[in-house]
Amino acid sequence: MKIVLAGAGAFGQKHLDAIRTIGGVEVAALVGRDLAATREVARRYGIDGATTDLGEALAIPGVSAAILCTPTQMHAAQAQQCLRAGKHVQVEIPLADRWSDAEAVARLQRETGLVCMVGHTRRFNPSHQWIHRRVLAGELRILQMDVQTYFFRRKNINALGQPRSWTDHLLWHHAAHTVDLFAYQTGAPIEVANAIQGPIHPTLQIAMDMSVQLRSQNGAICTLSLSFNNDGPLGTFFRYICDNGTYVARYDDLVDGKDAKIDVSAVDVSMNGIELQDREFFAAIREGREPNAGVNQVLPCYRTLHDLDRQLTERR
């Protein structure tokens, strides 16, 4: 399978690392904003093509799919560009930062019938898969999820500590992981959603602290705390309070309520959530099916984010 990857930054390189381990996939071109920097990343990964033009990359003969790891504000438009070009597409989270744009992508996917997957990685992390399988088997019922998403980003930098050309967002990006995961893990739509936020940063023009409350139709609740002001420990911690045990997940690792490690190494073929996400994308294309985290599956998450965004705007 020949693909193109757009976004030569921190997350684009995570996908390139994952693709190396999968096999049977060739990255025909890497797309980035700065041609010299993009060529350097392409050279390190043995990619022949480098360009600043996504359309040029999509036109390469034999290319059937694209992975988008570009700035949030470009996701929806670029996803539609790929679909209109007849290419399957995986869009890194978030699908969009406006409900109307998310709807537009989903509508176009239905018209084209192409695979359009969104990078909701938490669905693929072995830790969360372990919980999910036990919920489906009737061994666990989630009563509450308590989630902390904490970073220290008072300057506009990426995961590699490099300057960003765009601004990240606690609600439309980081909360999207938990909003989708909560509905996915509980197996029920979200019926109540509330949010409050702290002051708007004078330079970045985003809230640096936020709190979100959710309730699903089956009665489970979720409390999500987010911050760009937290000076460690960094990352996201998910506490599952269940009828039959308590579990804490951090990316691909899982412990019980007494901090005893749970072996999740046999849950899937890899311990790398990004790799598993990419494997699902390629498998869905080859098998002609909807992927886990297909655009229509995750669309309710963006409706909830839209409702929360309206609340926050009205309360400013």
Nearest to 278 by CA among 84, 92, 151: 92
Q: Where are the beta strands (DSSP E) in 183-234?
A: 190-197, 209-216, 221-227
Counting residues of the chain whose pLDDT is more than 70, the rounded percentage is: 96
In this predicted structure, what is the pLDDT of residue 206? Answer: 87
List residues bridging with 58 in a β-sheet.
none
Give whole-number Cα distances, 193 to 101, 117, 227, in Å.
Answer: 21, 25, 19
In this predicted structure, what is the pLDDT of residue 251? Answer: 85
Domains, in order of start, for the chain: 2-121+274-292 (3.40.50.720), 122-263+301-315 (3.30.360.10)
The whole-angstrom separation of Cα 241 and Cα 246 is 5
What's the CA dihedral at 99, 10, 169, 106 to 10 degrees?
10
Take residue 154 and report the two structure tokens written for it: 């008072």
Q: 93 near 176, Cβ under 8 Å? A: yes
Residue 143 burial (C-beta neighbours within 10 Å; 0-12, 13-18, 19+)? middle
In this predicted structure, what is the pLDDT of residue 198? Answer: 95
Report the pLDDT averaged over residues 42-51. 97
Residue 165 has pLDDT above 80, yes or no: no
The 10s digit of each residue's pLDDT in 121-149 is 999 999 999 999 999 999 999 999 999 99
The whole-angstrom separation of Cα 83 and Cα 109 is 7
Residue 167 has pLDDT above 90, yes or no: no
In this predicted structure, what is the pLDDT of residue 153? Answer: 78
Q: 86 near 112, Cβ under 8 Å? A: yes
Kind and range of the H or E run holding 67: strand 63-68
Residue 226 has pLDDT above 80, yes or no: yes
Q: Give the pLDDT band of residue 205 (cuts 50, 70, 90).
A: confident
The 10s digit of each residue's pLDDT in 247-272 is 999 988 999 999 999 999 999 999 99
